[in-house]
Amino acid sequence: MKTIALIITLAALAACQRPAVPPQDKPPEPKALARSVQAPLEKARGVQQTLDDAEKQRRAQEERAEKE
């Protein structure tokens, strides 16, 4: 009886094991992480530059309109 209980317990424990993680061919490049962080920042800087340029143009137009 103890043998059957031991076999059942070992079978249950074997079923609960995590599956083996397949090895990766190569680790991810750290540059990819840096690019994924920098890309949105660069895009935001570009948008800010566009807004700044538009504001400068608007102010220049207002100054020209006031002089006339």
pTM above 0.75, yes or no: no
Widest pairwise Cα distance in the chain: 106
Q: Render pLDDT for 26-55 as a digit per residue (tens, 0 to 9).
A: 766 778 778 888 999 999 999 999 999 999
Report in angstroms the alpha-carbon separations of 25 from 20, 22, 29.
15, 9, 12
Give the chain's mean pLDDT.
85
Taking alpha carbons only, the member of 52, 8, 49, 17 closest to residue 60 is 52
Q: What is the pLDDT of residue 28?
A: 64
Give the span between the Cα atoms of 30 and 53, in whole angstroms.
35
Give the span between the Cα atoms of 46 and 52, in whole angstroms.
10
Among 6-10, 11-15, 31-35, 64-68, the minimum mean pLDDT is found in 11-15
